[in-house]
Structure 1
Amino acid sequence: MLHLRVHPDNPQPRLISQAVERIRAGDVVVYPTDAAYAIGCQIGNKNAMERIAQIRGLGAKHQYAIICADLSDIATYAKVDNAMYRLLKANTPAVTTYILPATSEVPRRLMHPKKKTIGLRVPSNPVCQMLLKELGEPLLTSTLILPGQDAPMDDPYDIEQLLEKRIDVFIDSGLGTLTTTSIVDLSGVNPEIVRRGVGDVSAFE
């Protein structure tokens, strides 16, 4: 496992470039977000995605999400009209995952099997932002919660001890938070607040 210790507010570009190189090679990465640590890989990498599902103990019906630097690529992955785009633009970046109708560009294994939706997140975390901008594309992402645990992992020591032989890259920015994202389903006629976390969802009530 490549362990990269980065500054939480001013991450070192050289270290982020190392992580990006490994992600492009198909590696699985654990990285900080504006909520808890997350685990991710390139969107189209089936093997890496299967490894993430195994690490997290996820079933076939899990709703995956992608994490983006901004909304510039949203039309590639989600069906969004002008009104919805303006609403999302006014409410990102945020500690919120938005469930949206997926386009045909999204691999079927990432969609909800029945609803054909995809989760979308735009973070404000400086490390995550630099990683995504350097990569030049969104990441498949999932909160780092191990099977049998109720809370996401936030301690770099625990992550290293438990996952050293199961992940490829760990971008360590110090202690994370135990906060969870809010989830808003925008795939139906009216917004549905699926989970209230730290993200402000008042615009969708």
Structure 2
Amino acid sequence: MADRLHVHPVNPQSRLIDKAAAVLKAGGLALAPTDAGYALVWGLESKAAEERVQRLRELDSKHPFTLLCRQLSEAGRLARLDDPAFRLMRSLTPGPCTFILPASADLPKRIKNSGRSKRRDIGIRLPDHVVTRALLEAMGEPLLSTSLLLPDETDPASHEAEVVAERWLRWADVMLDAEDCEPGPTSVVDCTGDAPEVVRQGFHPVAL
């Protein structure tokens, strides 16, 4: 039975954040609130948790997952940021925006090679939700994440905590329940070309 931890959405209790982090460090799968709906999150080295997500969402091994980072310097170790991309990310983060960026040579080996032919780009987010940011701090490293979207669904309906718990808690090991959060999806900005391009406008649209 998964733990549903009721955390304060503004001042999350450190003992509950640490409890969720311990689950993730042990290879578990968590439901966490973000600034664009709840998301499934797991540790960088947790291949078993990632395989659970792939089975649940019926995704193949080449499906890209998004990396959640605490700050730009952390993102800069995982991706190659040229000056335009750095300035853009600085202006839009933290916030509900995913950036597609060229992968760095320092990308963790499992992420680079796990079922993918040498990933050349990655998706990175710096979420603006105090609970998830606290979880990232407790982990001391980025987390992998994916939206709450089952096969054949187009609307994840993932911002209401009670709905998320009812539909998803059975498949996770822990949920950080911080009440309802902002809806998604995120906006997506592709920074791998000659100039940044918005390839999806999210619940909070962005202008470049």
Shared fold per TM-score greater than 0.5: yes
Query: d(CA) in 2 for partners of 1:99 and 1:62?
Result: 14
Residue in 1 aligned with 2:161? Answer: 156
Q: Residue 169 of structure 1 aligns to which amino acid in structure 2?
A: V
Correspondence 1:16-95 to 2 at 5 A: 16-95=17-96
Q: Bigger CA drift: 194-203 or 103-112?
A: 103-112
SS in 2 for 1:202: coil
Cα deviation, 1:96-115, whole Å, max 9, x if unaligned, reads 00000112324235697587
Distance 1:45 1:68, change over 3 A: same
Residue in 1 aligned with 2:150? Answer: 146
Q: Residue 10 of structure 1 aligns to which amino acid in structure 2?
A: N
Distance 1:81 1:9, change over 3 A: same
Name the % identity. Answer: 35
TM-score (normalizing by structure 2): 0.88
Residue in 1 aligned with 2:101? Answer: 100
Residue 198 (str. 1) matches residue 203 (str. 2): yes
Residue segments in structure 2 that go unaligned for 5+ positions in a row: none
Q: Residue 51 of structure 1 aligns to which amino acid in structure 2?
A: R
Residue in 2 aligned with 1:182? Answer: 187
Q: Bigger CA drift: 92-101 or 67-76?
A: 67-76
Q: How many residues align?
A: 203
Residue in 2 aligned with 1:130? Answer: 134
Alignment root-mean-square deviation, CA: 2.1
Cα deviation, 1:42-101, whole Å, max 9, x if unaligned, reads 122211111112222223442321011111212321011244223311221111000001
Q: Which of 116, 121, 131 pairs up with 2:120?
A: 116
Q: Residue 180 of structure 2 aligns to which amino acid in structure 1?
A: L
Residue segments in structure 1 that go unaligned for 5+ positions in a row: none
Distance 1:147 1:176, change over 3 A: farther
